[in-house]
Amino acid sequence: MMRQMEPSLRSLVAAELSEPVDPRVAAMAAAIAESYPGAARAVLFYGSCLRERQLDGLMLDFYLIVSSYDAAYAKRWLRSANLRLPPNVFPFAHEGLAAKYAVLSEADFARLNGRLASTVSVWARFAQPSRLVWCADDAARQAAVDAVGRAAPTLLNAAAAVAAETRASIPPLDLWRLGFQLTYGAELRAEGSGRADAVVEADPERYARFAAPALADTALGLAETNGFVSLAGLDQRDLLRERRLWPRRRRMGKLLTVLRLVKASFTFAGGIDYLAWKINRHAGTGIAIKPWQRRWPLVAGLILLPRLLKRGAIR
């Protein structure tokens, strides 16, 4: 059974999700939802465009939450792909802006924001700021708040178990930074090693404000006192159980990144150009996609990946 969120954390999450966005973001979210009549439940906006408050020339990031994959897709292979290897990712364009959106069912969105998820990809993103820019009804809104509210405690719980190996206490912002460093290390990422710190530095007041209520909702029962999170006296069995999840998260995270790239070659038109743009932007590389690579993106990706790993362009 899913544990009840701390009331103070729920109110913070609900307030943050309801903060206003650029009208063009709301219009794009509504257009994405309209593409899934009868299935769309919520659309969330997140990522660097939200953080940097810049839209033009970039690719916006959304999550589309649906009632079920059966309701979302007419094609059986898309239903199966989203069920077995969530999420499916698709490109989208609206009123001169470009975006990509990931599709998850309400059940998967709640599960993948929790600490027992096999991959960090969802809870690592929604421990960061996001906006609920479209929802079908109040029940969909409440479900989105509940799911997003699981992410920050999951991240802080996971980070604390690692920090407790070497420290008796840690400042809350350092715990957030450690959490993002660990999650970035559990995926194949083009961003540099300082990216995790930059996420927190973009809005340290937000992370300080969320710390105490999120800590109170962790499985380890963490708390902030006099500007520090105490890591002493925690149940050693719980700490060991949490630490043992990390090797699996790293293995699964990197494997799933590759598998999702393979899947995206079938679902994401122009996906290889987007991936090249993102790697060039974050890693300072000069990858140029050739015509044959656009025709055979899967083969091109399998050839490029080892080279990028060797050069350190992705980690």
Whole-number pLDDT of residue 249: 86
* CA–CA gap between residue 45 and residue 304 (Å, rounded): 30
Whole-number pLDDT of residue 231: 95
Whole-number pLDDT of residue 195: 77
Instruction: Give, as one character, the DSSP assignment of residue 45.
Output: E
Whole-number pLDDT of residue 53: 75
Inter-residue contact 2 to 147 (CB < 8 Å): no
* Beta bridge partners of residue 101, listed in sequence order: 62, 90
Start-to-end C-alpha separation, the chain: 36
Task: Please name the helix (run of DSSP H) or strand (run of DSSP E) that holds residue 195, with its range, or none.
Answer: helix 195-201
Q: Cβ-count burial of 79 within 10 angstroms (0-12 exposed, 13-18 middle, 19+ buried)? A: middle
* CA–CA gap between residue 70 and residue 68 (Å, rounded): 5
Residue ranges covered by each domain of the chain: 7-149, 152-245, 248-311
**Which mean pLDDT values do the consecutive 10-residue runs of the chain (315 residues) have?**
72 97 96 98 94 82 98 95 91 91 97 92 96 98 98 97 96 97 78 76 96 95 94 92 88 73 63 58 59 54 56 51
Whole-number pLDDT of residue 57: 79
Inter-residue contact 222 to 47 (CB < 8 Å): no
* CA–CA gap between residue 258 and residue 126 (Å, rounded): 21
Whole-number pLDDT of residue 279: 55
Cα angle, residue 192 at apex, residues 239 and 154 outer, rounded to 5°: 25
Whole-number pLDDT of residue 9: 95
Q: Domain 7-149: which topology?
A: Beta Polymerase; domain 2 (3.30.460)
* CA–CA gap between residue 277 and residue 81 (Å, rounded): 25
